[in-house]
Copies of this chain bind each other. A is one copy, B any other.
Amino acid sequence: MLKLPSPKTIDLQAKLFRGFSDPSRLSIMEALRDGPQTVTEIVHTTGLTQPNVSNHLACLRDCGLVSAEQHGRFVHYELSDARVAQLLGLADALLADVAKGVYECTRYRRPAAEQHAKD
């Protein structure tokens, strides 16, 4: 019988990955890969709504994936650890090879409107 990590550790890992599992949060982290940005800058870079960005940033900060620094009435956010970018890079590399599968992964994803590719 194999020994798995404790349920608590598994849950923590899941939580960590959940930080990466949303397109909006990924956009934000991709934006921060080039260096610190202000909330408003992130809003412009990503095209997301300001409350939405603030919410995701708060989430990412709570999870330790980004860190914040206040300058006047601006708050500069940045990736908190080189390994965050490293994870993004590793995902890129993996994606390059398994993308064919991911395209069709609709098991836990309703087919909805068939998501016509546009890009």
Residues of A near any B CB (own CB < 8 A) = 1-2, 4-23, 26-27, 30-31, 34, 44-46, 55, 58-59, 61-65, 80-81, 83-84, 86-88, 90-95, 97-109, 117-119
The answer to whether A98 and B63 touch across the interface, beta carbons within 8 angstroms, is yes
> Which chain B residue shows the least CB distance to A4?
B30
In the complex, A2→B100 CA distance in Å?
28
Closest CB-CB distance, A47 to chain B, in whole Å?
9
- Selected A-B contacts with CB under 8 Å, 10 pairs: A1-B44, A4-B27, A7-B23, A8-B118, A12-B99, A58-B107, A59-B107, A63-B98, A63-B102, A83-B90
Contacts of A91 in B (CB 8 A): 13, 16-17, 87
> Which chain B residue shows the least CB distance to A14?
B23
Please judge, given known A-B contacts A14-B23, A16-B95, A17-B21, whether A8 and B83 are in contact too, CB under 8 Å.
Answer: no
Which label, helix, strand, loop or mixed, suits the secondary structure of the A interface? helix
